[in-house]
Amino acid sequence: MNINTVPAFDVRNAAQAVEALPYLLSYQPDGPDGTVFVLAHDTMRDGPLFSQKFDLPDGTDDPHQAAHQMMHNTLHRLEEFATGPAGILLYLCASQKDAGDGYNAMSRHQVLADALLLSAEAHGVDTLGVIFVTPTHWWFYHHENPHYRVEGMPVDGPNNPGVVTMNARAAGIPTPPSEAKILAAFEPVTGRDTEAQQAANVEAVGLRAERVRSTSFDAETERLTAIFDRLLLGGGDDTPLTDLTPEQTAELIVGLRHRPLRDIALGYSEPSELPRARELWALLTRCASDSTTFAAAPLTLAGYAAAVAGEIPAALIALDRARTADPRYLLAKLLMEQLAMTGSMEEITDLARQEREARLRRRDR
């Protein structure tokens, strides 16, 4: 979270805290997955300190164990900041399937809300409140006013601006984009294409192994680099990317699991290349299906390219998706940390550009 892009709001005013949530997240929380969002608030300076995001536990998870782990991680971050008095505000953001069933969904997550409060107390963390949020309404757990629990309160936002939205407009802070619309670009292929693509992805693993055995890893990387150069370098050869066959996308997807090729792919970030590169990374993500580890590399490249284009919310969503696809994928974690610390990819882009220039010089000798 970049606190410089968050408009002024009163963290103790539930309506303002809910209205500020999209600015804290950098996007409207209207995606398919539920989230527990933890905002740490610096009591002395009266401002946001940091945020943590966790998956909203489903019915198969132990809410008490999940709450304990969330509080443990939050306490660890608080210790890293070595700040003075701080409190936390907890948001339970509904999944899409819960969004149209607000009160009942809020009630189903009551056990988790209670467990979070108890765990925070056990860890000695002051809790400012626990709020259940859907795209249209919110409920405050353990509030003395029953209106907050039964009917729900309407969410203020772009179409019905409250204090926070007006403060954002006055400060020139743009309205956060829709998470659902950003994720739509990465929806897996469907219908008859699904089976053909999945079969091609599996077959590509064996075909790659055969080529590496008959040549070498370096030769295979050079072969796939030539394909990427044809598709992307200097704007590419104008081949419609949608014309790529399942076999062609599969060999690129599998190849990007090899770090040298993925690092080369970071270099396609010049202005003439970026739109087409983003189209290709999104296509490969859809063909990989974001429920497989194959998706981690193209999602990470999509996040990187979005950040280079200045679309930080899209970058954060893609990188978070990459870490969900493969929690061990280190580059996605490093890029997220880079965005959190600096708000840009300039340092990494400079390194990628240097590597690209050296590669092209070697190629042209």
Mean pLDDT of 26-48: 88
Query: Minimal CA–CA distance to 39: which of 9, 17, 8, 16?
Result: 17
Q: State the Cα torsion 74-80-83-87 to the nearest 10°.
A: 0
Checking if the pLDDT of 2 tops 50, the result is: no
192 confidence band (pLDDT: 50, 70, 90)? low
- The structural domains of the chain, ordered by start, are 3-177 (3.40.140.10), 185-364 (1.25.40)
Q: What confidence score (pLDDT) does residue 187 get?
A: 86
Query: Minimal CA–CA distance to 351: which of 304, 319, 296, 281?
Result: 304
Tens of pLDDT along 110-166? 999 999 999 999 888 889 999 999 988 999 998 766 556 677 899 999 888 999 999
Most confident listed range (5-14, 132-141, 225-234, 287-296):
225-234
Burial class (CB within 10 angstroms; exposed 0-12, middle 13-18, buried 19+) of 133: buried
Q: Between residues 343 and 176, which one has the greater pLDDT?
A: 176
Q: How far out from the chain centre does Cα 159 lie?
A: 25
**Global pTM exceeds 0.95:** no
Amino acid at 96: Q
Tokens standing for residue 154: 């309407």
Tens of pLDDT along 172-181? 999 999 999 9
Please state which of the ranges 21-25, 103-107, 275-279 shows the lowest mean pLDDT. 103-107
